[in-house]
Structure 1
């Protein structure tokens, strides 16, 4: 009943740990990964951070994963959403909802090391790293992969967790639809005069959305979107020019922006798989859908997929059913469809609304922010959708 997972980034690693935890180590898992998290070029554990909703933290707690991560996380206790140059502004506070935090910020390199440490201890998890899949063969009853060292792995189910445009998914004839946002995301860590002390900021500027997440040591994680046509110009800015432009766009909420670390840029698009299952294959994480990062929903959605798939696998095995059987995979896919579509629609709509500078839309979105600031039920609806499972009222 071996489950083969290709890709040990965030989604693949947590899936392996979830199956091991839920099955009490009774289901063999073969986890294949090209790079270790110590490799600075690992796309799943690079210099970025992720914002985990409080609901996601609870799910990781239930799996026994969160206690290993908690001391390297920074709590988000307040969020400010604003539109530069306009009156719309809303402040959200965890205290208003009777919870300790709205979410947690974790640095990916540190998270990668800790997840790999847990994988090394997890019963029935065999890690093949560094290793690369060079051939995939599927029969009626099994799925088999051949690694670049000639080793073959055979299992009942093959999970593609190898990122956007998954090579494994392509080998299994999965196709993706892509919507280009004509934007790039500039990612960096910055240091500010005032400590962020739990404050996260979503600010919509003329160049594109801008997000700051609180980190330790008086730092913030920055994601700043720009038009694709400005990529070369922005990339050529000196650090002093970058800090000056960022200060003008963000304002002085955290005082003077003192320092910026190494900058990275990524093209932005919405990538969705035409289907999330195939014969003895399931997709999770960015292999299934890659979202715009500004709303910080990518891994939180992926984790809900991971929990659902791991439950489907474990329940099938416990019932004596083949976990790679089409009926099992079809129920997983259909059960996740509504949440996936709702999250994609909300994230895509938010980006398109706030990236548009047409006057009627600017007026409309600012009226919405002003109304949210004044009407508690609107704030609650926003929080409930954005921070799924964090608040129950």
Structure 2
């Protein structure tokens, strides 16, 4: 049985970032095991249908600290401008990178590229062992250690197990960490589209009577679409012909990008707020979507997870009491305020912008108009959007 300082379940961007951060901050003196179920596809270009995520300015600064950003910088698309509007109402607000004297407000990266980059980076750290493909099959916790049984028959031991294994965290279930959830009554339809106009690094958040529509700029003039709709509309939109899909999207989004010309493969999933009641237990911690899964409105969930990762990496490498209660308790205290504020913000925005009561519709429009014209009100929103948040 191999022994490590830290075991990380999940080698995607949250778990991979944590492993690389621990290695960087400890000068490769701490040993790390990464357990990942899926192998990188090693494709040089993921193609039209690749999924993408937005990295906030704050997340990029964090990745720079851990020496990761230079390896991602060549495969990202900058977000130069963010436009927020409310369909059939006058309120709107704009944020431009020149207004805040930044090269970009954030960056969009395709997950296939992340997989390739992280696989290469992890292989260059001799203190990081990747067990792939493998899943966590069992967890035994002792006073000073934790032992993890893998689906391939191997067993590994460490001082701390970190779950970065996604919203349906197997590790959290095995440990018995309970969660609360809330059904937003919406499904997200995910696809890539191309419009007749160049996106020019513009991102859009368009609130409609059914839910928000988000567009993120990607390479080759593609846009990553997240379209939130009520459950009763999912089957119709998922199964209609491409022409009908694009026509309905055009009707709901408008013409700020010209005419929508092409749509790729579509996927959908129900939108729920899922929050683990605690993000630590004995010799155990959780980060990213395993700790909290948010509505995609305003793109806060992933960037909140990276702040979890950064804080935990700092605590793990700050002293030699890896996995002890006092260390994990500090991590929990440091994450409490940001976690609560971000969850509250995203959930409140969903309920505010999905409600068609006349008084709330008017309040939304006035709010967007006011935020756009009063710098003192725009600044706090901008900081949260950019991910400039105290940890």
Decide: shared fold, TM above 0.5: yes
Match of 2:32 in 1: 29
1:277 maps to 2:280: yes
Match of 1:190 among 188, 193, 201: 193
Structure 1 segment 27-106 matched on structure 2, within 5 A: 27-38=30-41, 47-106=50-109
Determine helix, strand or coil for the equivalent of 1:90.
Answer: strand
Structure 1 segment 304-315 matched on structure 2, within 5 A: 304-315=307-318
- Aligned-pair CA distance for 1:238: 1.1
Check the 8 A contact 1:223/1:294 in 2, yes or no: no
1:332 maps to 2:331: yes
- Aligned-pair CA distance for 1:149: 2.2
Match of 2:386 in 1: 387
- Aligned-pair CA distance for 1:39: 9.0
Residues 157-211 of structure 1: CA distance to partner in whole angstroms, max 9, x if unpaired?
0001111131111110111100000110011110111110111100001221000
How far apart are the structure 1 equivalents of 2:219 and 2:149?
Answer: 43
Match of 1:178 in 2: 181
How far apart are the structure 1 equivalents of 2:13 and 2:345?
Answer: 23
- Aligned-pair CA distance for 1:388: 2.3
Give 4+ residue runs of structure 1 displaced > 4 Å after superposition: none
Residues 209-256 of structure 1: CA distance to partner in whole angstroms, max 9, x if unpaired?
000111111111100000012221222211111000001111111111
TM-score normalized by the length of structure 2: 0.95
- Aligned-pair CA distance for 1:376: 1.8
Check the 8 A contact 1:164/1:286 in 2, yes or no: yes
Structure 1 segment 343-362 matched on structure 2, within 5 A: 343-362=342-361
How far apart are the structure 1 equivalents of 2:364 and 2:42?
Answer: 42
Check the 8 A contact 1:53/1:390 in 2, yes or no: no
How far apart are the structure 2 equivalents of 1:155 and 1:19?
Answer: 14
Match of 1:13 in 2: 16
How far apart are the structure 2 equivalents of 1:112 and 1:363?
Answer: 44
Structure 1 segment 76-155 matched on structure 2, within 5 A: 76-155=79-158
How far apart are the structure 2 equivalents of 1:66 and 1:149?
Answer: 33
Q: Which moved more, 1:222-231 or 1:371-380?
A: 371-380
Residues 256-282 of structure 1: CA distance to partner in whole angstroms, max 9, x if unpaired?
100001111111000000100011000
Check the 8 A contact 2:297/2:349 in 1, yes or no: no
Unaligned ranges ≥5, structure 1:
41-45
Determine helix, strand or coil for the equivalent of 1:131.
Answer: coil
Unaligned ranges ≥5, structure 2:
44-48
Q: Which moved more, 1:24-33 or 1:116-125?
A: 116-125
Match of 2:228 in 1: 225
Change (3 A) 1:39 1:161: farther
How far apart are the structure 1 equivalents of 2:168 and 2:204?
Answer: 30
Match of 1:202 among 197, 202, 205: 205
- Aligned-pair CA distance for 1:389: 2.1
How far apart are the structure 2 equivalents of 1:119 and 1:232?
Answer: 41
Determine helix, strand or coil for the equivalent of 1:275.
Answer: coil
- Aligned-pair CA distance for 1:130: 0.4
- Aligned-pair CA distance for 1:21: 0.6
1:293 maps to 2:296: yes
1:268 maps to 2:275: no
How far apart are the structure 2 equivalents of 1:75 and 1:177?
Answer: 35
Check the 8 A contact 1:80/1:199 in 2, yes or no: yes
Match of 1:43 in 2: none
Match of 2:239 among 222, 236, 259: 236
- Aligned-pair CA distance for 1:48: 2.0
Determine helix, strand or coil for the equivalent of 1:217.
Answer: helix
Check the 8 A contact 1:200/1:214 in 2, yes or no: yes
